Structures are given as structure tokens and as C-alpha cells.
């Protein structure tokens, strides 16, 4: 089978979804499945839906289109605030979007009216991580205006954490979101169907809280696919962290010096590097490079180490494993490496189990 490829273990992903549904469901939290990591891969998305995930969320409208085109039946949520230049596509393909700008909401409204449809919106509230969200002080005025927009159904509020600022969704932040939801419901005589507390970083808060207030939704990507919470990147008990495996192939294996020789200038990455002379060594080259994965985010499952990489090659220390040309090397992937690899057209995606 061709390399490089990523083996995607559907049985492990299924297990993770079922465990997370049980865990969060026990206190009334529904899971929105976040598909941006898998680039909207319809086969994997279908597994989420088959296991009872009703809303699929992605930051890119192209990924949503891909899943719809392949017949994955779900409600689709656009995670990143719509761009003004994409309003028509957003209303055409996404049932729900996360929003933080009235200017954009007004355009969504206009477009929904023209298309004779209703577009659902969740208003994101800034609670300290400083990515998307409206400042709490501006909420009341904004909600008042949203409620006057035709073609728009205001279904909830949400917050996001641990993305830009690394801020934790702790009990204070979640209480703030809860109180806000209750206050808006009372003041405007509305009922919010979704109060979305955050993402995979909400695990610690959830585990340590008896009373989770009005929070009834989390948007999970990394926990489902990599089995981790994201504040400390600890494995969540009983989940698989190895559902994805990167498989690469040795295209050169030779005994060579450990130190480059000749006059030293910039290398392919624009760096002037220093090397230690450790004598001759068993070196290997893998047919994959920086263009395909984030080298810092891949961890070998065999006894080799990465010496360096260029756009299309990774050089490894092959001393302990003595791998031959044609042998494969397997890697685990961290989030960023997996994101890039799954979205690289040069890497085959192979569903197993
Ligand atoms: C990516 C994203 C998520 C999912 O985050 P994970 O850490 O993968 O669970 C949730 N919400 C928003 C707004 C996102 O952009």
C-alpha cells in the first residue's frame, strides 16, 4: 500500500465518541462534533453521525460543502465567524453559524430573506481568551438588534477558550456564561436552546463541577480524535490517543558521516546550523517532508530519532533500528501535525477497522 499515508482507525474513533457521549451526557451536555481536523472527511464525519452526533461543526465552508455533497446527514455549524464575502455560501450550506459582528449578522439576515430560509445563529461572548466574541458589556444591545433581524433565529450563546490566550474555562468563566444566558432569557423573554461552553479544554471544569449551570453543549474535536483534553494535553481516561498513524517509507539507508562537510552556509530553511561530529552513523531518509507535516509534531513509534528535515525529506538516525530501503516508519501525530497531514493531498488517507 502506498506511503506516505495516514491509517485512520474507525473503531477507536467510534469508541472515543461513545465514551465522550456517555461522560458529557451524564450531566446533560450535548456534543457538537468538530470536523476541521479531519478536513471534513465524509467517511469519518459519517461515523460521528452514526453514533448520535447531531451537529457537525467546521471552521471552513468548503469542508461543510464536502460533507453535504457526500451525503452526510447532519445539522451543519460554521465555527468561524462568516466572512462578508462568503455570506451566500454560509446561508446556503450552514444551518447555524457562530457570530460576533452585527454587520455580518445583518448580511446573513438579508441573504436568508432572499433565499426564503431561516439561518440560526449563536452569539459568541468574549470571556478572556481573546479570539472571537463580543464583549459582555455590549451583549444586551446586540441581542436586541439581532432579535429584530428577519431570517435569523437567535438560538444561543457560546464562548471559546485555550485557543489564543491559553485561558482556562474554569468554574468562574462557566458561571459567567450561565448567568448571562439566564439574564438574556429573562430580559428578552426568549429561550436559548444552546449554551455552548467551549471545546476540548472544558474537560477539567466538567469533571470537577457537580453543577454545570446552563451549559448544555460543547464543541469537541481533539478529544474525539486524539483522546485528549487541551489545557494540559493529558489523555482522557478510557479513550484512545492513537487512532491516527502516519506511515512513511525509507528511500535511502546508508552509513554516512554524522557531520556535514565542506564550507557551511544557509540550509534549505535559511538557517546556518551547527552539527556535532559523532563519527560515522547509520542514517535513513524518509519520503515525507515539511510540506506534508509539522515535523515538531510527529513522534516515532519505532526506535529511531529525527535528525532534521527539508521540504520533501526527513533524515533519521537509524542506528538502533537498522531499517532497510522499503521498510516503513510509523509516527503518532500531535494536533497541528495531524491537521496539516490530513489536509495534505500528498498523503493518502486509509480507513481501517
Ligand atoms: C476548533 C474549534 C473547536 C474545537 O476545538 P478542540 O480543541 O479540537 O475540541 C471548538 N470551537 C471552535 C470555535 C473552534 O474553532
User: Ligand 1: which atom is nearest the Cα of residue 37?
Assistant: 8
Specify the pLDDT at position 204.
98
Q: Could you tell me if the CB of 230 is within 6 A of ligand 1?
A: yes
Task: Give me the tens of pLDDT residue by residue for the chain, a chain 353 residues long.
Answer: 899 999 999 999 999 999 999 999 999 999 999 999 999 999 999 999 999 999 999 999 999 999 999 999 999 999 999 999 999 999 999 999 999 999 999 999 999 999 999 999 999 999 999 999 999 999 999 999 999 999 999 999 999 999 999 999 999 999 999 999 999 999 999 999 999 999 999 999 999 999 999 999 999 999 999 999 999 999 999 999 999 999 999 999 999 999 999 999 998 888 888 899 999 999 999 999 999 999 999 999 999 999 999 999 999 999 999 999 999 999 999 999 999 999 899 999 999 99
Output the pLDDT for position 230. Answer: 97
CA pair distance 42, 296, nearest whole angstrom: 28
Q: Which whole-number Å values give the CA distances from 339 to 31, 186, 251, 279, 293, in the listed order?
A: 21, 41, 25, 37, 8
The pLDDT assigned to 287 comes to 97
Tell me what pLDDT residue 348 has: 96
Which uninterrupted H or E stretch holds 16?
helix 10-25
Q: Which grid coordinates belong to 102?
A: 452585527
State the virtual CA torsion across 88, 36, 63, 164 in degrees, nearest 10: 30
The pLDDT value recorded for residue 147 is: 98
For residues 89 and 144, is the Cβ–Cβ distance under 8 A?
no
Give the residue carrying C-alpha cell 470536523.
Answer: 35
Q: What is the pLDDT of residue 227?
A: 98
User: Which pLDDT does position 175 carry in this prediction?
Assistant: 98
**pLDDT value at residue 93:** 98
**pLDDT for res 273:** 86
Q: Which residue among 24, 55, 57, 194 has the greatest number of ligand 1 atoms within 8 angstroms of its CB, and so is best to mutate? A: 57
Strands 328-333 and 298-300: antiparallel
> What is the per-residue pLDDT for 173?
97
Q: Please answer whether residues 241 and 235 qualify as being in contact, where contact means their C-beta atoms are separated by less than 8 angstroms.
A: yes
Give 162 Cα–ligand 1 centroid separation in angstroms.
9
Distance 32 CA to ligand 1 centre (A): 10
Does residue 220 line the site of ligand 1, with CB under 6 A? yes
What global pTM score does this model have? 0.95
Q: Which residues pair with 217 in a beta bridge?
A: 30, 196
Catalytic residues: 36
CB 199 near ligand 1, within 6 Å? yes
- As given in the structure block, the three cell numbers for residue 194 are 444552546
Which ligand 1 atom is nearest residue 36's CA? 1
Query: 270: which residues sit within 8 A by CB, 6+ positions away?
Result: none
How far, in Å, from the CA of 226 to the mean position of ligand 1?
13
- Nearest residue CA, atom 8 of ligand 1? 221
pLDDT of residue 270: 87
Q: Is the CB of 221 under 6 A from ligand 1?
A: yes
Nearest to 163 by CA among 230, 211, 210, 97: 230
Q: Which of 29, 31, 34 to mutate to test the pocket of ligand 1 (most atoms within 8 A of CB)?
A: 34
| The predicted structure's pLDDT at residue 149 | 98
Which three cell numbers, joined as nine digits, stand for 177?
Answer: 456564561
Long-range contacts at 164-167 (CB < 8 A, ≥ 24 apart): 164/129, 164/130, 164/131, 165/128, 165/129, 165/130, 165/131, 166/129, 167/127, 167/128, 167/129, 167/130
What is the predicted pLDDT for the residue at 141? 97
160 lines ligand 1 (CB under 6 A): yes
Q: What is the CA radius of gyration of the chain?
A: 23
Distance, in Å, from the CA atom of 216 to the CA atom of 132, rounded to the nearest integer, reads 20
- Cβ neighbours, 10 Å, residue 328: 15
Per the CB < 8 A criterion, the answer to whether 62 and 76 are in contact is no
The reply to whether ligand 1 has any atom less than 6 angstroms from the CB of 200 is yes
Amino acid at each position: 500500500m502506498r506511503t506516505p499515508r495516514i491509517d485512520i482507525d474507525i473503531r477507536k474513533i467510534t469508541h472515543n465518541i461513545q465514551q465522550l457521549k456517555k461522560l458529557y451526557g451524564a450531566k446533560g451536555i450535548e456534543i457538537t462534533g468538530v470536523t476541521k481536523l479531519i478536513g471534513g472527511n465524509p467517511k469519518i464525519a459519517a461515523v460521528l453521525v452514526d453514533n448520535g452526533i447531531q451537529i457537525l461543526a467546521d471552521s471552513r465552508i468548503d469542508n461543510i460543502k464536502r460533507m453535504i455533497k457526500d451525503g452526510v446527514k447532519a445539522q451543519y455549524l460554521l465555527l468561524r465567524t462568516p466572512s462578508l464575502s462568503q455570506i451566500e455560501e454560509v446561508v446556503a450550506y450552514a444551518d447555524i453559524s457562530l457570530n460576533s459582528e452585527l454587520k455580518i449578522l445583518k448580511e446573513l439576515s438579508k441573504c436568508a430573506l432572499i433565499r426564503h430560509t431561516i439561518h440560526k445563529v449563536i452569539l459568541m461572548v468574549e470571556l478572556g481568551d481573546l479570539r472571537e466574541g463580543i464583549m459582555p458589556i455590549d451583549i444586551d444591545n446586540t441581542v436586541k438588534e439581532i432579535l429584530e433581524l428577519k431570517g435569523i433565529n437567535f438560538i444561543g450563546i457560546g464562548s471559546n477558550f485555550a485557543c489564543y490566550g491559553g485561558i482556562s474555562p474554569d468554574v468562574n468563566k462557566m458561571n459567567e456564561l450561565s448567568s448571562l444566558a439566564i439574564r438574556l432569557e429573562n430580559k428578552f423573554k426568549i429561550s436559548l436552546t444552546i449554551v455552548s461552553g467551549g471545546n476540548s479544554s472544558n474537560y477539567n471544569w466538567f469533571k470537577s463541577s457537580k453543577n454545570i449551570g446552563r451549559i448544555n453543549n460543547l464543541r469537541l474535536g481533539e478529544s474525539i480524535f486524539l483522546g485528549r483534553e487541551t489545557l494540559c494535553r493529558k489523555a482522557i481516561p478510557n479513550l484512545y490517543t492513537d487512532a491516527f498513524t502516519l506511515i512513511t517509507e525509507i528511500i535511502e539507508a546508508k552509513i554516512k558521516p554524522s557531520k556535514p562537510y565542506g564550507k557551511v552556509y544557509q540550509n534549505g530553511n535559511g538557517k546556518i546550523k551547527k552539527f556535532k561530529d559523532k563519527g560515522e552513523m547509520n542514517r535513513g531518509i524518509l519520503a515525507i517532508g515539511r510540506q506534508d507535516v509539522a515535523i515538531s509534531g510527529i513522534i516515532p513509534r519505532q526506535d529511531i530519532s529525527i535528525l532534521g528535515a527539508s521540504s520533501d525529506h526527513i533524515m533519521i538516525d537509524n542506528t538502533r533500528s537498522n531499517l532497510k530501503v522499503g521498510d516503513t516508519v510509523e509516527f503518532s501525530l500531535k494536533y497541528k501535525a495531524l491537521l496539516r497531514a490530513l489536509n495534505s493531498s500528498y498523503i493518502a488517507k486509509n480507513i481501517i477497522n
